Amino acid sequence: MTDVYARRSADTLARPFAVRGLTTRNRIAMAPMTRNFSPDGVPGQDVADYYTRRATGGVGLIITEGTYIDHDSAGTSDRVPRFHGEDALAGWAGVADSVHRAGGAIIPQLWHVGVTRAEGTPPVADAEPVGPSGVSLDGEPKGRAMTQKDLDDVIGAFADAAAAAERLGFDGVELHGAHGYLIDQFLWAGSNRRTDAYGGDIVARTRFAAEIVAACRAAVSDSFPLFFRMSQWKGSLYDAKLARTPAELDTLLTPLAEAGVDVFHASTRRYWLPEFDDSDLNFAGWVKKISGRPTVTVGSVGLDGVFNESFQGKDSGVTPIDQLLDRMERDEFDMVAVGRALIADPEWPAKTLGGRTGDIRSFDAAMLKTLH
């Protein structure tokens, strides 16, 4: 890496980022990645060590793996951490304290899997999968459509988790509204076939998400920021689109921003690809331009292969981040979330900012089995 390249990385990525009461030391976030390393849903010392190792390596903001809210149908594994219950919350308090002592900021990602829940699995084995319309992402019957009571219970559970996060000393929360999980199931016409106030046109399909955002906003202080993760694609449906034009995206984003989203985390598989025709802006760039809110970009940062190939046993090599720096220098987005590159090398931020990219370890798919 040349001195000029090193200086560009430092000048672009080392700037603090501030929103409400949160100020990060740089523009590098750790992307949320499910680990299944929390027996009975309780994060232990190994979880604290895992996140602290990345904070020590220079990450400005840790976004935790998805954590289940307090609803029977929220999860599909008893090894994914909960964000409710005294035992789990005590574990998370220790995680937050450890990350803070290492100089990082941390927010939990709050999650409900909706109809993607596998029937008969823990943490509540007899809980039926629920979603907008009782259909899976591919349109097949699955689970049942949520009643108004179901909706109210889930909204309340998200708000309770957000309040708990602030009480425990976290620096904000992220609502998981992406990748075909519950909130996203309401946003997407392919899975939301409701005929009540929560289904129909784009604005109606945002109502459930907006009510969750508003409830969380009301449950926390003015200094506590709310992040919202969103995506066009769902699970293996990589061509799915919430919005096919900037105008449709505007219609989708406006109710969420008005409800209280402070930062949008715009998930794509490859951050360098344009989202719409006739513009080089990626998804995060368009979301920022339209909403006026800060955005986080993500998608194969620093790697030469997309994430789903990792689950097929394919490794990824280290690649330069020239395009990322170009886009950040144009203020296309405000932060970058790094995933597998941080699994491979917890010191990726320090090495990148310090001009030592030649020392960055490449990603080996076998690392996903340990995630240490």
Mean pLDDT in residue range 324-348? 95
CA distance readout (Å), 200 to 62, 206, 336: 36, 10, 33
**Residue 18, pLDDT score:** 98
The type of residue at 187 is: L
Mean pLDDT in residue range 210-226? 98
d(CA 285, CA 274): 9
Residue 182: count of CB within 10 angstroms of its CB: 30
Q: What burial letters (b/e) apply to 77-96, b meaning 16+ CB within 10 Å?
A: bbbbbbbbeeebbebbbbbb
**Residue 302, pLDDT score:** 82
**Residue 300, pLDDT score:** 87
Residue 172 has pLDDT above 70, yes or no: yes
**Residue 305, pLDDT score:** 54
| Mean pLDDT score across all residues of the chain | 93
Mean pLDDT in residue range 75-101? 98
**Residue 135, pLDDT score:** 97
Residue 316 has pLDDT above 60, yes or no: no
**Residue 1, pLDDT score:** 45
Domains and CATH numbers, the chain: 3-369 (3.20.20.70)
Asked whether the beta carbons of 79 and 88 are under 8 A apart, the reply is: no
Active site residue: 50, 51, 68, 181, which one? Answer: 181
**Residue 200, pLDDT score:** 97
Catalytic residue list contains 238: no
CA distance readout (Å), 371 to 49, 61, 65: 11, 18, 12
Residue 311 has pLDDT above 50, yes or no: no
pLDDT tens readout for residues 337-359: 999 999 999 999 999 999 898 89
